[in-house]
Amino acid sequence: MKIEQLILELESLCEKIGYTIRKERGSFRGDQCVIEGEKLIVINKNKPPETQAGILARVLQNGNSEEIFIKPAVRKELEDLWVRIDRFNEPAEEPSE
């Protein structure tokens, strides 16, 4: 699946679990937040599509994505992204003496 199509699918899933998505330009990475009770995802347009997809995948990983239908092809891509996110977030191993 092309990254642009994946982003559209992930955006749709995020909207189904109650998020509003804003795409802006600036010197920020992008993430989710709640402003005055509104769940919001802010994505930096200047970041590569892979980074944008990663932000959406992380929101879905932490959200209620198990309550919505996810197309099998999208689920496979999403699970691959989750593995990469988890690997990135693992604490570094302590060097043994």
Tens digit of each residue's pLDDT (9 = 90 or more) over 45-65: 999 999 999 999 999 998 877
What DSSP line would sit under 33-88, residue for residue? EEETTEEEEEEETTS-HHHHHHHHHHHHHHTTGGGS---HHHHHHHHHHHHHHHHH
Domain assignment present for residue 40? The answer is yes
- Which CA distances in Å does 38 have to 4, 35, 65, 89? 26, 5, 18, 27
Residue 97: inside a domain, yes or no? no
Whether the predicted pLDDT of 97 surpasses 60:
no
Tally of domains in the chain: 1
Beta bridge partners of 29: none
Instruction: State the pTM of this model.
Output: 0.85
Q: Is residue 95 part of a domain?
A: no
Structure tokens at 41: 């995802």
Mean pLDDT of the chain: 91
71 or 63, higher pLDDT:
71
Domain that holds residue 7: 3-88
Inside any domain, residue 94:
no
